[in-house]
């Protein structure tokens, strides 16, 4: 059983609104049901069968918004196999519970903790030197790249189903975040160097360079697991307390 193109692209378009009806209890359960509704309507013409299919998505569900199109594509593939009799309902339910959680961790570590800060730091450096057009162009290009990624993820999940999750897990995209975070540390150090150089004209150059190198050095030490991030939090709080003359109350 295959879905019509109109149904497929209707589900894809709805992935952009997954967080429009988010709740603290079920998180994205309403948004996910809204995404899958056109596919379930076509796969289950019988009203009672469609009601039971929607009930399978009434439980708590949550994943990263950028990974949602991939999740939706995989779930539609699973529902198609279930409607065709290739898998049973228990198998479909177990797969449904596994997929969003696995991709949520990848999205949080790679996109929210690495790619987003990298884009922000690059734009800050460009704007600091007056390159507004370049910053705007980079932002537009990344937005277009994101939409291409969403489309590719949805179609990939729709075609390969749960095998798509296994292939992505084998590539270990979560490990890509580490090097990006090191680059973020270098960018943050460069941004601080620019601020120190122009904002503190009376300070010696070697002092400015040393202060700017603190962040990339800390980033490298954390990336190599030589030092835990808690050490730097404690050191930062201690420096703030000393700089405030002991007036900082925690």
pLDDT, tens digit, 9 for 90 and up, residues 191-242: 777 776 665 566 666 666 666 666 666 666 666 666 665 665 566 566 556 5
Residue at 183 is within a domain: no
Is residue 233 domain-resident? Answer: no
Give pLDDT, residue 218: 65
Backbone angles phi, psi at 128, to 5 degrees: -60, -35
Position 249 pLDDT exceeds 50: no
Question: Is 216 inside any structural domain?
Answer: no
Phi, psi of 27 (to 5 degrees): 60, -110
Q: What is the DSSP string of 100-135?
A: HHHHHHHHIIIIIIIIHHHHHHHHHHHHHTT-HHHH
| Cα dihedral value 137, 140, 146, 151, nearest 10 | -120
Q: What is the pLDDT of residues 39-56, one digit of tens each?
A: 988 888 888 888 888 888
Q: How many domains does the chain have?
A: 1
Q: Report the pLDDT value the prediction gives residue 221, as an integer from 0 to 100.
A: 67
The verdict on residue 217 lying in a domain is: no
- 159 found inside a domain: yes
pLDDT of 175 strictly over 70: yes
pLDDT at 165: 80
Whether the per-residue pLDDT at 246 is higher than 70: the answer is no
Q: How far apart are CA 34 and CA 57, in angstroms?
A: 10
- In a domain, residue 19? The reply is yes
Residues 6+ apart with CB under 8 A from 188: 121, 215, 216, 219
Does 236 map to a domain?
Answer: no
Can you tell me the mean pLDDT for 13-30?
82
Does the model's pTM come out above 0.85? no
Instruction: Taking residues 65-90, report their average pLDDT.
Output: 83
In a domain? residue 178: no
The domain of 73 spans 5-103+140-170
3: which residues sit within 8 A by CB, 6+ positions away?
A: 39, 42, 43, 76, 80
**Mean pLDDT, residues 156-178 taken together:** 80
**What value does the mean pLDDT of the chain take?**
77
CA 39 to chain centre: 25
Which residue has better confidence, 113 or 131? 131
Integer Cα distance of 139 and 154 in angstroms: 23
Q: What is the CA radius of gyration of the chain?
A: 24
């Amino acid at each position: 059983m295959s879905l019509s193109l109109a149904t497929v692209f209707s589900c894809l378009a709805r992935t952009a609104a997954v967080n429009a009806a988010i709740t603290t209890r079920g998180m994205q359960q309403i948004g996910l049901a809204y995404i899958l509704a056109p596919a379930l309507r076509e796969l289950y013409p019988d009203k009672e069968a469609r009601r039971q299919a929607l009930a399978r998505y009434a439980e708590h569900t949550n994943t990263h918004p950028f990974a949602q199109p991939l999740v939706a594509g995989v779930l539609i593939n699973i529902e198609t196999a279930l409607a065709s009799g290739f898998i049973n309902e228990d198998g479909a339910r177990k797969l449904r519970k596994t997929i969003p959680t696995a991709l949520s961790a990848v999205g949080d570590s790679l996109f929210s903790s690495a790619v987003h800060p990298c884009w922000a730091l690059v734009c800050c450096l460009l704007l600091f030197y007056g390159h507004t057009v370049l910053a705007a162009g980079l932002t537009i290009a990344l937005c277009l790249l994101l939409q291409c990624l969403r489309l590719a993820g949805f179609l990939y999940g729709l075609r390969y189903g749960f095998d798509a999750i296994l292939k992505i897990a084998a590539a270990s995209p979560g490990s890509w975040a580490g090097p990006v975070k090191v680059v973020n540390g270098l960018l943050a150090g460069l941004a601080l160097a620019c601020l120190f150089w122009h904002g503190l004209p009376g300070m010696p150059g070697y002092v400015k360079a040393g202060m700017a190198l603190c962040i990339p050095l800390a980033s490298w030490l954390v990336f190599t697991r030589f030092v835990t991030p808690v050490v730097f939090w404690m050191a930062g709080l201690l420096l703030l307390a000393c700089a405030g003359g002991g007036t900082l109350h925690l």
